[in-house]
A = this chain, B = another copy of it.
Amino acid sequence: MKRDHIPASAVRRLSLYLRQLESFLREDRRTVSSKALGEVLHLTDAQVRKDLAYFGQFGHPGVGYRVDELIVRVRQILGTDKICNACVVGAGHLGTALLAYKGFAKRGFQIVAVFDNSPSKVGREVSELGSVRIEPLSAMKERIRQDSIRLGILTVPEESAQEVAGQMIKAGIGGILNFAPVWLSVPAGYPVMNVDLSTDLEQLSYQMTEMGRGRSDGEQ
């Protein structure tokens, strides 16, 4: 199978497969078929097989996929087979909440530093979990080098997002998870993922409105 281009939606589902496989492993399940894996995730068996086939031949005809084996493979593909150090840039409410969020560590992302330029925040300890001290952005470059930080979580206000993103890239961060509602201008091919909570709420609002429009009788 040609892997020249892999749809982003397939990569996104890969994460879901991994999570479900890990859940199966905890239940001591040894193998799983594309049908079974698809069923719990509300996907067709063909979808599951095609997604996995983009990356190689991991299955065993007549048997299915070996859970432990596939977990290893998918982690390799996603690059989460080793722990990845991350930092939070912007120590506001969202930034400090993400610092304490256990879900990241569970999936191999360890937040080891927080940066913020506000004088009232620098030096303060965020003691939610591992007690991390907030450092100024000027310390970022050195910290990234010392702690091999590969990934940055950007949670500054939208006004400064572009400027700060530039500093992060210059400091050597390998990719940015951007929570600011702006399209970051970065070098071609540079890894960025946008999380846009307001847009998500608006999508929800649309769905709610649609459902309302669908019913011909009044509000209930």
Contact = CB atoms under 8 A, between A and B. Distances in A.
Interface of A: 8, 11-12, 14-16, 18-19, 40-42, 77-80, 84, 86, 93-94, 96-98, 100-101, 103-104, 106-107, 109, 128, 150-151, 174-177, 181, 183, 189-193, 195-209, 211-212, 214
Is chain A's interface secondary structure helix, strand, loop, or mixed overall?
helix
24 contacts: A12-B199, A14-B206, A15-B199, A77-B209, A78-B202, A80-B205, A84-B205, A86-B201, A93-B100, A94-B98, A94-B101, A97-B97, A97-B98, A103-B198, A104-B197, A109-B205, A151-B205, A151-B208, A175-B207, A177-B204, A189-B211, A189-B214, A192-B204, A193-B201
Given A104-B198, A151-B201, 5 more contacts: A77-B209, A79-B208, A93-B97, A103-B198, A190-B211
